[in-house]
Amino acid sequence: MPEGLTGNLAQMPIGDMVRMLTAAGQSGRLDLADRGDRGAIYLRDGAIVHATHGPASGETALRHLMTWASGAFRFEAQAASPEATIHRPATELLGEIAAMAAERDAIRKAIPSPEAVLRLRTTELAGPVTLQPLDWQMIVRLGEPKSAAELVGSMGRDEFTVLRSLKGLVTAGLIEVEAEARPTARPIAPAAFFTTLRQAAAAALGPFATVIVEEEVAAMGTTFEAFPRDQISALVERISGEIEDDTRRVQFQQRMVQVIRQLAAA
């Protein structure tokens, strides 16, 4: 490997570059720069031993750098790593990162833009769907349509994890993706919704259900008569958090998913 090898990631993708260096058993530092953003990957005898990007280091920094599609690179042979923060074999790491890249491509096909509008599908599903806790949280947030960016931002989790679960819901047919802008009006929740909510809450919480529902509505700064329809999912989630029994909580969630889907279809 020539000393001071330089180039552009547009011509030599980062994945190909790192695989070439590891396969050749190289030692040194691969410096990366793109419009003021900088990072470095350190190798020792073909093993990836350290990576830096801003305040991040180790595998976190490496995963980010391996997503770069543009920028300049320079390899300094024999440059020593200041520390060792990566200990897994390079083949294992690069295989895992390649799988994540493929998953990101699949996500982009299912959800082509952060501005894409997500809404619950109201048609019949082809078969049963098993929901994980993260899936449930996304569904209740889609009582009213939201852009992909809005939904991801509301979850409080890392973007890749949320988008991967979201792609699964789109593929399963629970959520549909549209390009049009979502409506800005905030209609009021129908009275029938609160009748059903009280019944479902009573089955899960017992005689204190009515008090809990009233307290949660008040805590959200509104009333039953003026309750915004786009806040229904948030209310359901708050009440769900009050149900300690796992079985009853799941039953409550399943019932309310049906109700939310019916409202979306109305």
Tens digits of residue pLDDT in 210-259: 888 998 898 888 899 989 988 898 999 999 988 989 999 999 999 999 88
Banded model confidence at residue 181, pLDDT cuts 50, 70, 90: low
Tokens 């949660």 appear where? 216
Nearest alpha carbon to residue 47 among 97, 114, 93:
93
Q: Are 197 and 257 in contact (CB under 8 A)?
A: no
pLDDT per residue as tens digits for the range 64-91: 999 898 889 999 999 999 999 999 999 9
Do both 9 and 84 map to the same domain?
yes
88, 119, 142 - which closes a domain: 88
The pLDDT of residue 1 is above 60: no
Identify the CATH number of the domain in which residue 158 sits: 1.10.10
Banded model confidence at residue 4, pLDDT cuts 50, 70, 90: low
The pLDDT of residue 263 is above 90: no
Helix 232-240 crosses helix 133-141 at what angle (to 10 degrees)? 150
The stretch 44-73 carries a mean pLDDT of 93
The CB-based long-range contact list for 80-84 (8 Å cut-off, 24+ gap) reads 80/42, 81/29, 81/42, 81/43, 81/44, 81/49, 81/50, 82/50, 83/50, 84/49, 84/50
| Percentage of residues in the chain having pLDDT higher than 90 | 45
The stretch 22-34 carries a mean pLDDT of 94
Q: Are 94 and 18 in contact (CB under 8 A)?
A: yes
123, 155, 178 - which closes a domain: 178
The chain-wide mean pLDDT, for the chain, equals 88
The answer to whether residue 22 is domain-embedded is yes
The pLDDT of residue 132 is above 80: yes
The stretch 91-109 carries a mean pLDDT of 90
DSSP single-letter state for residue 207: G
pLDDT for residue 104: 85
The answer to whether residue 129 is domain-embedded is yes
Do both 128 and 74 map to the same domain?
no
Work out how many domains the chain is built from and give that number.
Answer: 3
pLDDT for residue 235: 93
The pLDDT of residue 193 is above 70: yes
Q: Which domain holds residue 152?
A: 111-178
pLDDT for residue 3: 54
